[in-house]
Amino acid sequence: MLDDFFIRALLAGIGLALVAGPLGSFVVWRRMAYFGDSTAHAAILGVALALAFNLSIYAGTLLVALTMALVVTALVSRGQAMDTVLGVMAHSALAIGLVAISFVPTARSDLSAYLFGDILLVGKTDLLLIWGGSLAVLALLVWRWQRLLTATLNEELAMAAGIDPRFERLVLSIALAIVVALSIRVVGSLLISAILIVPSAAARGLARTPERMAAHASLIAAISVLAGLWSSLHLDTPAGPSIVAAAAAFFAFSLVFRRN
């Protein structure tokens, strides 16, 4: 069954959707969309380093994404304005990554695949990494769920309960970096934030509890993967953008059926 490229692509997308729901919900609640963009844009630099030193794409993007997440977290903790830091880091990382990748001849022809993803070329090894990483991040979020939620809702209340909001923010940053590394082959660096944010934004008005919102977001992401792959197969559209477009359609419908 796994010899069928469509089945492999579908399994990869569903694996990513499982973790995109709960992690994307925290990104929406904490208004970390721009943080996700910064980490995702840095993935291009990771691709360049991986190709230059003959490393795994996942290893290169994970290393750079983790570095970006830790640097941004450290700068913000020192009192730097979040929007300024993210603006500088996001555009600088993307620019440096594009410059660096121009020095790797083998990567120039595949640049669009790294920017927008190419889920139809996912292999069995990619599937193992995507599912293994997604389940690990999902387990981490389930384990820290109540602490993360408390720190997200009210930092003062979290501190009173003995929870360090900075540590919980670091946990989310690391989880986000891992998912960025996993997503580079599926939707590409420019659309990673979208697959996290759009399904969660669509689920926000359809659920009354945080847990239901996370579950609904995962379901919307999974259906978006299926719809995007179907349109890519039958309408000859790019797979990654098609998946995000399907999620955007869900968001539009959610505005109509939003709970009061």
Query: Residues 186-197: pLDDT tens digits?
Result: 888 778 888 899
Q: Does residue 90 surpass a pLDDT of 70?
A: yes
Q: Does residue 18 surpass a pLDDT of 90?
A: yes
Confidence at residue 165, expressed as pLDDT on a 0 to 100 scale: 87
Which of the residue ranges 142-151, 155-164, 241-250 would you say has the lowest mean pLDDT?
A: 155-164
Residue 208 binned pLDDT confidence (cut-offs 50, 70, 90): confident
- The pLDDT > 90 percentage for the chain reads 33
Confidence at residue 211, expressed as pLDDT on a 0 to 100 scale: 93
Give the residue from 7, 108, 134, 120 showing the smallest Cα distance to 48. 108
Confidence at residue 87, expressed as pLDDT on a 0 to 100 scale: 77
H-helix or E-strand spanning residue 139: helix 124-153
Amino acid letter for position 220: I
Query: Residues 40-81: pLDDT tens digits?
Result: 878 888 888 888 888 888 888 888 888 887 887 777 777 777
**DSSP code per residue over 16-31:** HHHHHHHHHHHHHHTT
Q: Does residue 38 surpass a pLDDT of 90?
A: no
CA 183/CA 40 separation, integer angstroms: 9
The answer to whether 244 and 198 have CB atoms below 8 angstroms apart is yes
Show Cβ contacts of residue 114 under 8 Å, excluding neighbours closer than 6 positions.
43, 44, 47, 101, 107, 184, 188, 189
Q: Does residue 260 surpass a pLDDT of 70?
A: no
Residue 259 binned pLDDT confidence (cut-offs 50, 70, 90): low
Residue 119 binned pLDDT confidence (cut-offs 50, 70, 90): confident
CA 236/CA 259 separation, integer angstroms: 36
Confidence at residue 110, expressed as pLDDT on a 0 to 100 scale: 66
Q: How far is CA 115 from CA 41, 98, 148, 172, 206, in A?
A: 9, 10, 31, 23, 31
Other residues' Cβ atoms within 10 Å of the Cβ of residue 140: 19
Identify which has the larger pLDDT, 258 or 235: 235
Phi-psi region of 78 (alpha: psi -120 to 50; beta: other; left: phi over 0): alpha
Confidence at residue 212, expressed as pLDDT on a 0 to 100 scale: 93
**pTM of the predicted protein model:** 0.88
Query: Residues 164-177: pLDDT tens digits?
Result: 888 888 899 889 88
Q: Tokens for 150, please give them.
A: 């408390």
Q: What are the percentages of helix, strand and coil residues in the chain, rounded to 5?
A: 80, 0, 20
Q: Tokens for 183, please give them.
A: 């997503």
- The pLDDT > 70 percentage for the chain reads 95
Query: Residues 220-253: pLDDT tens digits?
Result: 999 999 999 999 888 888 888 899 999 999 999 8
Confidence at residue 106, expressed as pLDDT on a 0 to 100 scale: 64
CA 179/CA 226 separation, integer angstroms: 19
Identify which has the larger pLDDT, 152 or 190: 152
